[in-house]
Structure formats: C-alpha cells, structure tokens
C-alpha cells in the first residue's frame, strides 16, 4: 500500500491539488506544514479554506496553541500513527506540505537523537548564521560541509545535538529509520514569473482576509521569545510594523520578498530529493494538476480506484 506525498514551494497550489486527489480516491490528508499545525495561525499560515476542510478529512491542522513545541521528530511519529489509522479504516493517505524538515523526516528518516532543549535553542538562536556555521566547523566539519550555509534550522539542530550528546550529528547519519510505507513523491513547480505572481496575490489576499488583525492578537499575547511563530514570515514582519520600525507598506514588501526567498530555498532543498516526479503546473488549474497527480499515483499502484 503506497502513500502519496505532494511537495513543492509555497503558493504553488498544493492544498487544492491534494484535496482534488483525496476526493477522487476517498483519501484523508495529512498536513506537512510546520505552521498550519498551530490553532492561532489561520490567515498567516494560509490554512486550507473551510470548504475544503468540510469536504476532505484533514489531520495536523489547527492542533496546537502558538506556544507549543513541535518538531520533525514528533511530526514523523504522528504521521506514522495517522497513516496506520487511515489505512485501518480502509482509506488512502495523502501527505501534503512544504516544510522541508518535515518532508525530510519522511523521505530520509530520522536518527533517534535527543529531544530539543529550549535553553540551548534560545542560546543558539541569538547567534548570527555566520557564527553558527563557524562553531559547527569546529565541532562537526562533516555537517558544516553538507548543511547549506544559510540553513539556520539545521545548523542549530546540529549544534544542539553536539552540545547535548558530545557527539557530532554526522556520526549518527545512516541510522535513520525508513518510513513504513512506500512513498509516491510528486513535486509541483511552475515558472519563476508565475510563482512570484502567485506569492504576490496570496499576500494581498491574506492582508485582505485579516492578517494584520491576526498578527496583532498574537503580538498582544506576549509570546515567549523562542515561540516558533515569531520566525514565521508574515507575522515577524508585522511585529516590526507594530514596534514602529517601518510602515505597513514596507512590512508588506518584506513579506513578499522573504516569501519569494523562502520558495527559492524550498525548491533547492526539494530538488535534492530522490525519486520525485516533478510536474510543471504553470497555467494549469488545480483540477488539471490533480488529474496528472492521480495518474502518476495509479502508475505506481494500479489497484488504486
């Protein structure tokens, strides 16, 4: 029994494509999005709209409060549990998202490393990216060579593991546990021009739907300095606006620019994944793309109805 995994950069249209496929085969969807999982992030996380959630069962959407700690290891464990439950109900499972470490936890597995340490994380978060990389070169040159120089998340995790265990994270690579079910990996991409247009349109829509008000509610809650959402594009730029560092138009431009940069990093990350069937969605509707994805899935599993 295979599991469909749909990945790709932000704003490429994964949500509606996954819903289309799930409806056609009676599947349930598991979100692989590190921000959609939080209850308080609706507009800013571009959560699937109510009409889709009403038609297709979704998991790991709006589960935890903004203060909660959730990482790739917990996602992997939850994903295994959810897929098992979905298949036991006689349904199919579709996993969809663009959070790189969540996808990596499925496609390449995780070694049984230590849980995150909030104090160490906070200390490392205060360092510049260059300082993180410099420290990693000292304690784990192999990781420093293989981790992208600007990938703060992986740099911090590698240093955290070393500080907690005294062993380089690279020494533990190769002990990862594979995902229990075969994954049919489908990647969505489009032309740079169209992706940028989609990102700009999405930011406009999010602002129209109340992103500023949603961000202000979170701002007024006084979240802990290391709360994950404080690093989320959309919120962190508006928090700067609330602090009086710039005007709303500047915040909007920052959101657009950083979202485009993030999409570029996602694509670079996903292109390193093996056995991904890439589909160019430029100029296509979600239904047209969904039909192509479904055809690919059926090639791998002819029994799929």
pLDDT in tens, 245-291: 999 999 999 999 999 999 999 999 899 899 999 999 999 999 999 99
> How much of the chain exceeds pLDDT 70, in percent?
97
**Can you give the pLDDT at residue 173?**
67
Q: Range with the lowest mean pLDDT among 54-63, 226-235, 279-288?
A: 226-235
Burial of 190 (0-12, 13-18, 19+ CB in 10 A): buried
Q: May I ask the CATH class of domain 118-172?
A: mainly alpha
Question: Whole-angstrom Cα distance, residue 257 to residue 252?
Answer: 9
Question: Whole-angstrom Cα distance, residue 243 to residue 250?
Answer: 13
**Can you give the pLDDT at residue 112?**
63
**Can you give the pLDDT at residue 66?**
86
Contact (Cβ atoms closer than 8 angstroms) between residue 118 and residue 30: no
Residue 128 token pair: 């510049």
**Can you give the pLDDT at residue 288?**
98
**Can you give the pLDDT at residue 190?**
96
Which pTM was predicted?
0.85
Q: May I ask the CATH class of domain 3-109+177-300?
A: alpha beta
Nearest C-alpha neighbor of 212 from the set 33, 43, 40: 43
* Residues 100-128: tens digit of each pLDDT: 989 999 998 876 667 778 789 889 988 99
Nearest C-alpha neighbor of 262 from the set 79, 8, 71: 8
Query: 233 — phi, psi (to 5°)?
Result: -60, 135
Nearest C-alpha neighbor of 61 from the set 38, 92, 80: 38
- At 7 the three-state DSSP class reads strand
Question: Whole-angstrom Cα distance, residue 93 to residue 233?
Answer: 29
CA pseudo-torsion sign 212, 216, 218, 224: positive
Three-state SS sequence of 151-212: CHHHHHHHHHHHHHHCCCHHHHCCCCCCCCCCEEEEEEECCHHHHHHHHHHHHHHHHHCCHH
Between residues 108 and 25, the one the model is more confident about: 25
Q: Where in the chain is the domain with CATH 3.40.50.300?
A: 3-109+177-300
Between residues 204 and 122, the one the model is more confident about: 204
pLDDT surpasses 80 at 143 = yes
Question: Whole-angstrom Cα distance, residue 67 to residue 200?
Answer: 29
Between residues 33 and 111, the one the model is more confident about: 33
Query: pLDDT averaged over the chain?
Result: 92
Contact (Cβ atoms closer than 8 angstroms) between residue 262 and residue 232: no
pLDDT surpasses 80 at 172 = no
Q: Where in the chain is the domain with CATH 1.10.20.140?
A: 118-172
Give me the torsion for CA of 109, 190, 37, 258, rounded to 10°: 100
Contact (Cβ atoms closer than 8 angstroms) between residue 66 and residue 44: no
Q: Range with the lowest mean pLDDT among 12-21, 30-39, 217-226?
A: 217-226
């Amino acid at each position: 029994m295979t599991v469909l995994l749909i990945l790709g950069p932000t704003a490429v249209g994964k949500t509606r494509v996954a819903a289309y496929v799930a409806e056609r085969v009676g599947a349930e969807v598991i979100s692989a999005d590190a921000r959609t999982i939080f209850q308080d992030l609706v507009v800013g996380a571009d959560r699937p709209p109510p009409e889709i959630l009403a038609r297709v069962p979704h998991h790991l959407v709006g589960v935890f409060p903004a203060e909660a700690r959730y990482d790739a290891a917990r996602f992997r464990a939850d994903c295994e549990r959810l897929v098992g439950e979905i298949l036991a109900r006689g349904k199919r499972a579709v996993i969809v998202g663009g959070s790189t470490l969540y996808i990596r936890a499925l496609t390449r597995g995780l070694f049984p490393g230590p849980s995150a340490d909030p104090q160490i994380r906070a200390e490392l978060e205060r360092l510049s990216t260059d300082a993180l990389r410099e420290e990693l070169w000292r304690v784990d040159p192999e990781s420093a060579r293989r981790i992208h120089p600007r990938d703060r998340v992986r740099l911090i995790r590698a240093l955290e593991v070393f500080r907690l265990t005294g062993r380089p994270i690279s020494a533990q690579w190769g002990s990862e546990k594979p995902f229990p079910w075969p994954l049919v990996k489908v990647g969505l991409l489009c032309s740079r021009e169209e992706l940028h247009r989609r990102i700009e349109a999405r930011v406009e829509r999010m602002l129209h739907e109340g992103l500023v008000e949603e961000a202000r509610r979170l701002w007024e809650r006084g979240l802990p300095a290391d709360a994950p959402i404080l690093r989320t594009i959309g919120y962190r730029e508006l928090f700067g606006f609330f602090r009086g560092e710039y005007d709303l138009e500047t915040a909007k431009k920052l959101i657009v620019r950083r979202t485009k940069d993030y999409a570029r990093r996602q694509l670079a990350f996903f292109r390193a994944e093996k056995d991904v069937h890439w589909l160019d969605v430029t100029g296509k509707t979600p239904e047209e793309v969904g039909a192509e994805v479904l055809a690919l899935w059926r090639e791998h599993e002819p029994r799929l109805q």
